[in-house]
Amino acid sequence: MTVRGSGVGGFAKGKAFVAIDRGQRNPYEDIPPGSVLVARTVFLSDSLMINFNNVVAMVLEEEDVTGHAGLLAKGLGIPAIVGVKGCLTNIYNGDRIIVQNHDVIVNPDLAAVGEFDRMRRESDPQLSLDLL
């Protein structure tokens, strides 16, 4: 599945961490390293509860009308794709996610992963020094 959104584009890949507020203490608790945060929206006040050291990108269902998600993403240097309708119902914890400019690819095939790696290298030669 590939969907397009708007916001702060870029390149990232990781596993989905779907944060749904169901009244628990902190829906952003226990985000594993290398996660793509999938949520309805993110406000600046939420940033106190999110360990952004573990977040490589954000995919948000609502448009960023307040500008908070864009501000956070630019400050952190990560992509934030907003306005992705249905992401909370179509993306599950652990799904593999690629963020490629403003496209979100869920559970990509091998060809999509290869295209992602090629585009990422071409966009910034420093990224070819992939140390992980």
Write down how long the chain is. 132
Select the CATH number that applies to the domain covering 2-21+31-107 from these four: 3.10.20.740, 3.40.390.10, 3.50.30.10, 3.30.70.2740: 3.50.30.10
pTM for this prediction: 0.86
Helix, strand, or coil (residue 17)? strand
> In tens digits, what is the pLDDT along the chain, a chain of 132 residues?
788 888 888 899 999 999 987 776 788 888 999 999 999 988 888 888 899 999 999 999 999 888 888 888 998 999 999 999 999 999 999 999 999 888 999 999 999 999 988 888 887 765 544 444
Of the candidates 123, 30, 37, 19, the one whose C-alpha atom is nearest the C-alpha of residue 73 is 37
List, in order, residues 6 or more apart from 79 with CB less than 8 Å away. 7, 8, 9, 10, 11, 12, 57, 58, 73, 99
The answer to whether residues 98 and 41 touch, using CB atoms and an 8 Å cutoff, is: no
List, in order, residues 6 or more apart from 4 with CB less than 8 Å away. 102, 103, 104
Dihedral class, residue 23 (left if φ above 0, else alpha if ψ from -120 to 50, else beta): left
